[in-house]
Amino acid sequence: MAFAMPNLTPALPEIFVLTMASVVLMADLFSGKNRFVAYMLTQITLLGAAWLTVSTSGGEIVHTFSGMFVDDVMSDVLKLMTYIAVSAMLVYSRSYLQLRDLFRGEFFALVLFAMLGMMVMISANHFITLYMGLEILSLCLYSLVALQRDSAQATEAAMKYFVLGALASGLLLYGMSMIYGATGHLELDKVATAIQQGDGNRTILTFGLVFLVAGLAFKLGVVPFHMWIPDVYQGAPTAVTMFIGSAPKIAAFAFVVRLLSEGLPTLVHDWQGMLIILALLSMAIGNITAIAQTNLKRMLAYSTISHMGFLLLGVLSGNNGGYGASMFYVLVYVMMSLGAFGMIMLLSRQGFEAEKLEDFKGLNQRSPWHAFVMLLLMFSMAGVPPTVGFYAKLSVLNAALSAGFVWLAVAAVLFSVIGAFYYLRIIKLMYFDAPQDDSRIQAQPDMNLLLSMNGLGVLALGILPQPLMALCVYSIQHSL
Partner 1 sequence: MNFETLIFYFLASIMLFAGLRVITVRHPIHAALYLVLAFFTAAGLWLMLEAEFLAITLVLVYIGAVMVLFLFVVMMLDLDLQRLRQGFWQSLPLAALVGGLMILEMVLVLGRKSFIPDFASMEPHHAADYSNTKELGRLLYTDYVYPFELAAVVLLIAIVAAIAITLRRRKNTKHQDPAEQVKVRRADRVRMVSMPSQKQSEE
Binding site for partner 1 (CB under 8 A): 1, 3, 6, 11, 18, 22, 25, 65-66, 68-69, 104, 106-107, 109-110, 113, 116, 120, 126, 128-129, 132-133, 135-136, 139-140, 142-143, 146-147, 149, 181-182, 201-204, 206-207
Q: Which C-beta is closer to partner 1: that of 48 or that of 67?
A: 67
CA distance 259 to 176: 10
Q: Which C-beta is closer to partner 1: that of 39 or that of 379?
A: 39
Half-sphere exposure of 14 (CA within 13 A, CB side): 21
Q: How far is the CB of 430 from partner 1 (least distance, A)?
A: 37
Q: How far is the CB of 350 from partner 1 (least distance, A)?
A: 19
Q: How far is the CB of 255 from partner 1 (least distance, A)?
A: 15
In 3D space, the residue among 272, 274, 278, 395 whose CA is nearest the CA of residue 333 turns out to be 395
Q: How far is the CB of 374 from partner 1 (least distance, A)?
A: 33
In 3D space, the residue among 348, 336, 345, 334 whose CA is nearest the CA of residue 373 turns out to be 336
Q: How far is the CB of 104 from partner 1 (least distance, A)?
A: 7
Is the CB of residue 142 less than 8 Å from the CB of residue 161?
Answer: yes
Q: How far is the CB of 278 from partner 1 (least distance, A)?
A: 16
In 3D space, the residue among 83, 84, 94, 96 whose CA is nearest the CA of residue 344 turns out to be 96
Q: Which C-beta is closer to partner 1: that of 70 or that of 461?
A: 70
What Cα–Cα distance (Å) separates residue 251 from each residue in 79, 108, 139, 144, 327? 9, 19, 15, 18, 11
Q: Which C-beta is closer to partner 1: that of 135 or that of 156?
A: 135
Q: Which C-beta is closer to partner 1: that of 206 or that of 448?
A: 206
Residue 223 — φ and ψ, nearest 5°? -65, 140
What Cα–Cα distance (Å) separates residue 461 from each residue in 333, 396, 442, 468? 12, 16, 28, 8
Beta bridge partners of 217: none
Q: How far is the CB of 283 from partner 1 (least distance, A)?
A: 22
What Cα–Cα distance (Å) separates residue 352 from each residue in 5, 235, 348? 54, 14, 6
Q: Which C-beta is closer to partner 1: that of 210 or that of 418?
A: 210
SS3 for 186?
A: coil
Q: Which C-beta is closer to partner 1: that of 120 or that of 458?
A: 120
SS3 for 273?
A: helix
Is the CB of residue 119 less than 8 Å from the CB of residue 79?
Answer: yes
Q: Which C-beta is closer to partner 1: that of 109 or that of 335?
A: 109
Beta bridge partners of 349: 352
- State the amino acid at position 416 in one-letter form: S
Beta bridge partners of 352: 349
CA distance 142 to 25: 19
Q: Which C-beta is closer to partner 1: that of 119 or that of 375?
A: 119
Q: How far is the CB of 447 from partner 1 (least distance, A)?
A: 25
Q: How far is the CB of 66 from partner 1 (least distance, A)?
A: 4
CA distance 100 to 33: 15
